[in-house]
Amino acid sequence: MYDICIIGGGASGIACAITAARKGLSCIILEKEDKLGKKIYATGNGRCNITNHSFDEDYSTYYNSEYDDYAAFLSKLFETQNPDKEIIDFLYSIGIVTYDINNYVYPHSLQSSSVMWALNDELTELGVKTLLKACALEICTNDGIYIIKTQNEQIEALNVVLACGGASYANLGGSDKGYKLAESLKLQLTDIRPSLCGLVTEEDTNSISGVRVKSKATLFSENGNPICKEEGELQFTDYGISGIMTFNLSGKAGRMISNSEKPYVMIDFLPDISDKAIYSAFEKGKKRKAKAVLNNFINDKLAGFVIDNTNLNAEIYSNNYTEDNISALIYALHIFKLEIKELRDFDNAQVTSGGIALDIINPSDMSIKDMPGLYAVGELTDIDGICGGYNLTYAIISGIRAGKGIYDKIKSD
Ligand SMILES: Cc1cc2nc3c(=O)[nH]c(=O)nc-3n(C[C@H](O)[C@H](O)[C@H](O)COP(=O)(O)OP(=O)(O)OC[C@H]3O[C@@H](n4cnc5c(N)ncnc54)[C@H](O)[C@@H]3O)c2cc1C
């Protein structure tokens, strides 16, 4: 019999196992894939953006949840105001030195595989038992002992940690299996949906697919309230918009779409360019086509797209443009509206929103209320972060808290 059976060998499950095993508890990890941490290898484009120095006290800036008071939940979970420091210390404890790029923290090697190598070696050193290709299919209890069944094994443990991750990226282990296990235990779940993904727009963006533009974007609710702002590189695709700034809008956009609202995004393609500079370009470029004049500022395909959408003719010479035409164009360049139809699907979304409801979780140790010995950590729970290392931070710290919490409980029994 084990002290802990951890279901899922991703960031949260591994952090939990290392924390508990360092304190002398016997742990087993069940992982349905053929190796641990498949998602970790893929993070940060293979470089593993593991945390971020930009954290401040208002955690609602970095995370989303259905739970009203999730910022307070995270304050209790993180304990200190420096979750990034805790992650760096944890990495250092397994020998990994970090490297910062504009507040984004990576392993110094800039290789996710270096983190997984160190984690795997630490698990081995600590004697954590790992079963690969072992999918937990059923959890039942008998006399205060948990029995976890896989296709071939039956594991007995005093505590169970659900660390099954979300439904995103099936090829990296994402699935609904964790939610199914939670359902079988009658745990409260919030609706799940893709997050950190592209947004499918009502407007046909096929003609500008592949165009990237530095811009500012604001997400609005159906009734015109600004919800959140992002700045960075917007990427147009054949379905709509993508890129990190779009991903960061997707969490809140998805929540509105689930509530049958129709959000929209307003884009400023030229946040750093004054109206005067655009008027002056038209003045100087009277003998050039309107599209060519705009190409002084933005990608030519995008210039044509904006002009078409302003119901003007991109192919005629600028001296045919009235002052009102130029004003309309300037307006469109600063306030370009794209209506959001839907989110991309789970296989194109880096994380999953929703999951095990925070109402039933104690943030100090991630234990499930009124279910002694049961814990839930990481992406399986109803917290999702924006891009920048916030999801791994949450997964690892929630795993650490569960590992320590179980030790404290066993010690006090
Ligand atoms: C392409 C991509 C890039 C990303 N980049 C970043 C980044 O740079 N920074 C960042 O912070 N976050 C990033 N993320 C998000 C981050 O990877 C996840 O939020 C994080 O890995 C979640 O950790 P977890 O332990 O909760 O879940 P996971 O890492 O998904 O681990 C859960 C594990 O449980 C296993 N499992 C599920 N059900 C069962 C079962 N019934 N029995 C046995 N095993 C089971 C799964 O196979 C999986 O291995 C990225 C995600 C993707 C897909």
Please name the residue whose Cα sits nearest to atom 9 of ligand 1: 389
Residues 271 and 405 reside in one and the same domain: no
Q: Which of 34, 164, 381 is the best mutation target for the ligand 1 pocket, counting ligand atoms within 8 Å of the beta carbon and taking the most? A: 164
Residues 261 and 163 reside in one and the same domain: no
Q: Which two tokens stand for residue 408?
A: 């404290």
Pocket lining: 388 vs ligand 1, CB cutoff 6 Å: no
Residues in the chain: 413
Pocket lining: 84 vs ligand 1, CB cutoff 6 Å: no
- Tell me which residue range forms the domain holding 170: 2-194+352-412
Mark which of 343, 371, 404 sits at the end of a domain: 343
Pocket lining: 379 vs ligand 1, CB cutoff 6 Å: yes
Mark which of 320, 343, 366 sits at the end of a domain: 343
Residues 72 and 182 reside in one and the same domain: yes
Residues 265 and 129 reside in one and the same domain: no
- Which CATH number covers residue 317? 1.10.8
Number of the ligand 1 atom closest to the C-alpha atom of 8? 34
Query: Cα Rg for the chain, rounded, in angstroms?
Result: 25
Distance between CA atoms of residues 367 and 333, nearest Å: 50
Total of domains in the chain: 2
Residues 386 and 246 reside in one and the same domain: no
Please tell me the distance between residue 316's alpha carbon and the centre of ligand 1 in angstroms: 52
Please tell me the distance between residue 200's alpha carbon and the centre of ligand 1 in angstroms: 24
H helix or E strand, kind and range, residue 325: helix 323-334
Please name the residue whose Cα sits nearest to atom 11 of ligand 1: 389
Number of the ligand 1 atom closest to the C-alpha atom of 13? 25
Residues 337 and 391 reside in one and the same domain: no
Distance between CA atoms of residues 88 and 90, nearest Å: 5
Pocket lining: 47 vs ligand 1, CB cutoff 6 Å: no
Residues 173 and 282 reside in one and the same domain: no
Mark which of 317, 343, 369 sits at the end of a domain: 343
Please tell me the distance between residue 12's alpha carbon and the centre of ligand 1 in angstroms: 8
Distance between CA atoms of residues 100 and 220, nearest Å: 33
Structural contact between residues 252 and 227, judged by C-beta atoms closer than 8 angstroms: yes
Residues 228 and 144 reside in one and the same domain: no
Residues 175 and 80 reside in one and the same domain: yes
- Which CATH number covers residue 185? 3.50.50.60
Please name the residue whose Cα sits nearest to atom 6 of ligand 1: 43
H helix or E strand, kind and range, residue 12: helix 11-22
Pocket lining: 38 vs ligand 1, CB cutoff 6 Å: yes
Residues 278 and 176 reside in one and the same domain: no
Residues 232 and 116 reside in one and the same domain: no
Please tell me the distance between residue 264's alpha carbon and the centre of ligand 1 in angstroms: 29
Walk along the chain (413 residues) and give the pLDDT tens digit of each residue.
999 999 999 999 999 999 999 999 999 999 999 999 999 999 999 999 999 999 887 898 899 999 999 999 999 999 877 899 999 999 999 999 999 999 999 999 999 999 999 999 999 999 999 999 999 999 999 998 999 999 999 999 999 999 999 999 999 999 999 999 999 999 999 999 999 999 999 999 999 999 999 999 999 999 999 999 999 999 999 999 999 999 999 999 999 999 999 999 999 999 999 999 999 999 898 889 889 999 999 999 999 999 999 888 877 877 888 889 899 999 999 999 999 999 999 999 999 999 999 999 999 999 999 999 999 999 999 999 999 999 999 999 999 999 999 999 999 98
Structural contact between residues 326 and 279, judged by C-beta atoms closer than 8 angstroms: yes
Residues 111 and 29 reside in one and the same domain: yes
